[in-house]
Amino acid sequence: MRPAATAAAEAADLSDAAKPLRMAQAASDPSASVPGDAVVVARVEDAWGVRGALRIAPFGDVSDTVLTVSRRWWLRRPQQLRGLPRPVAAASVPASAGVAGPASTRASTSSAGPAARAVRIADPLATGPRLFAVDSARRHSGAVVARLQGVAERDAAQALKGAEVLVSRADFPPLPDGEYYWVDLVGCAVVNLAGESLGVVAEVDDHGAHAILRVRPQGGAEAAERLIPFVPAYITTVDIGARRILVDWGLDY
C-alpha cells in the first residue's frame, strides 16, 4: 500500500485536460448552488497576463492537483457559507483598460487625464459563490494558470483575487489501488486489530515523508487525539465504502 495522495492523482495529459468543456450552464452561474461534496482545493492568487487568465495556488503539491482535470469550479470568498459578513472587494485599474461587469468611476479632483483615472470593480462574488466553466488550466512555475469562461480581461480576473476554488468530489479523477484522497479519509472510523475503537479521523496532516492521521474519540477533545502514521506498518486495511480503517495500533500507544 502506498502513502495517501495529498490532493489528487497525477493529472491526465495536459493537452486533453486543457480542452474547453461545453457546459449547459452559463459561463458564470450565480444561481448554481455549491454541491454538498465540494472541496476547497486552491486560492486565486492574482490575474495572470492581460487577457483574463488567473494564477491559482493549489493547496498541496501542484503535480497532484485536480485543477487541471476538473472543468467546473465554484469560486467564493473565504467568509461565505461560514456565517461571516461578505466583503465587497475592489480592484483599481486604468479606465482605458475597459471593465467587464458592473463598475463605477471613482471621483478624482486631480487634473490628470482620463487614462489616469481609476474604476472600482464590483466584486462578482459579493452575493455568494459562483460556478465557472473552465476553458483551460495548466501547471506553470509551481502554480496553475487558468482561463474561465466569462473572464476575458485583466480587471475582471483581478476582481476574483483571494477567492477560494472549490471542486466537486465527483470530479476528482480515480486513483490507483492503495492511494486515497485525504478528504475521503476524514470521518472514517479507526479500529485496531483487537476490535477496539480508536475514534474517527479528524484531520490528515502532511509531514513530508508520509501522512499522519489525527484520530479523535467520537465526541472527544483534541487532547485525547492519536497521531497514526499512514504507512503500511500501521495501516492494515482502508475501506472507504464502509468508512473504516483497520490499524495495528494499541489503545495504550
For 92, the grid coordinates are 483599481
Say yes or no: 131 and 151 in one domain.
Answer: yes
pLDDT for the residue 161: 96
Residue with cell 475592489: 90
Residue 6 belongs to some domain of the structure: no
Task: Give how far Cα 224 sits from Cα of 43, 62, 193, 216, Å.
Answer: 32, 33, 20, 6
Residue 177 belongs to some domain of the structure: no
Say yes or no: 41 and 98 in one domain.
Answer: yes
What is the extent of the structural domain holding 213? 182-247
Residue 252 belongs to some domain of the structure: no
Domain total of the chain? 2
pLDDT for the residue 63: 63
Q: What percent of the chain has pLDDT over 90?
A: 52
Nearest to 55 by CA among 131, 163, 132: 163
CATH code for position 223 = 2.30.30.240
Q: Are 75 and 151 in contact (CB under 8 A)?
A: no
Over residues 8-54, the pLDDT tens digits come to 333 333 223 332 322 233 356 665 789 999 999 999 999 999 999 99
Q: Are 198 and 253 in contact (CB under 8 A)?
A: no
Say yes or no: 167 and 210 in one domain.
Answer: no
Task: Give how far Cα 211 sits from Cα of 6, 107, 172, 183, Å.
Answer: 8, 53, 20, 13
Over residues 113-163, the pLDDT tens digits come to 444 444 456 788 988 999 999 999 999 998 999 999 999 999 999 999 999
Say yes or no: 81 and 146 in one domain.
Answer: yes
Residue 7 belongs to some domain of the structure: no
Final residue in a domain of this structure, among 111, 138, 171: 171
Say yes or no: 205 and 85 in one domain.
Answer: no
For residue 228, pLDDT over 60 is answered with yes
pLDDT for the residue 117: 45
Q: Are 194 and 217 in contact (CB under 8 A)?
A: no
Residue 134 belongs to some domain of the structure: yes
For 143, the grid coordinates are 502554480
Say yes or no: 206 and 82 in one domain.
Answer: no
